[in-house]
């Protein structure tokens, strides 16, 4: 079965610094990988996806993610964090006809 793991419950970063939110995957076949963000009291919003092609995927709000096949990782990155990026971030993998989500990582950006 397909799965993703997010090893960090929380990531703290100062505003203006680069941020990384980690995700590793376990799949049979080619992975379809996603990142979603959840702001307080809101539903999840799509950030970006990797299906095939370039390993560096660019998404919404200045986020990007790097697909690394050898390390089975799909880390989310942003060069310069904003306080408004503080939210819950979910990595997900496509399993046939559904998305399987990781446990989520809370990103806290401090002014």
Partner 1 sequence: DTAVSQTPKYLVTQMGNDKSIKCEQNLGHDTMYWYKQDSKKFLKIMFSYNNKELIINETVPNRFSPKSPDKAHLNLHINSLELGDSAVYFCASEGRGNEKLFFGSGTQLSVL
Q: Should residue 22 be labelled a site residue for partner 1 when binding is judged by CB under 8 A?
A: no
Q: Nearest approach, Cβ of 16 to partner 1 (angstroms)?
A: 27
Our measurement of the distance from residue 60's CA atom to the centroid of its chain's CA atoms, rounded to an integer in Å, reads: 12
Q: Which of these segments, 13-21, 31-39, 61-69, 70-78, binds partner 1 (CB under 8 A)?
A: 31-39
Q: Should residue 88 be labelled a site residue for partner 1 when binding is judged by CB under 8 A?
A: yes
Provide the 10 A C-beta neighbour count for residue 17.
Answer: 12
User: Judged by CB under 8 A, how many residues of this single chain contact partner 1?
Assistant: 22
Q: Nearest approach, Cβ of 17 to partner 1 (angstroms)?
A: 24
Cβ-based nearer residue to partner 1, 4 or 109: 4
State the greatest distance between any 2 C-alpha atoms of the chain, in Å, as a whole number. 42
Q: What is the token pair recorded at 25?
A: 């995957």
Taking only Cα atoms into account, the Rg of the chain, rounded to an integer number of angstroms, comes to 13
| Integer CA distances (angstroms), 62 to 7, 25, 58, 59, in order | 23, 23, 7, 6
Q: Which chain residues interact with partner 1 by CB under 8 A?
A: 32, 34, 36, 38, 41-46, 49, 51, 88, 90, 94, 97-101, 103-104
């Amino acid at each position: 079965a397909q799965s993703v793991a997010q090893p960090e419950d929380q990531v703290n970063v100062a505003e203006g610094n680069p941020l990384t939110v980690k995700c590793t995957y376990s799949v049979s076949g080619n992975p379809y990988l996603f990142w979603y963000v959840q702001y307080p009291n809101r539903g999840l919003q799509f950030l970006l996806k990797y299906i095939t092609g370039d390993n560096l995927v660019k998404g919404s709000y200045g986020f990007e993610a790097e697909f690394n096949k050898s390390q089975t990782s799909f880390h989310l990155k942003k060069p310069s964090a904003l306080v408004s990026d503080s939210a819950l971030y979910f990595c997900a993998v496509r399993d046939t006809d559904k998305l399987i989500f990781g446990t989520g990582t809370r990103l806290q950006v401090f002014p």
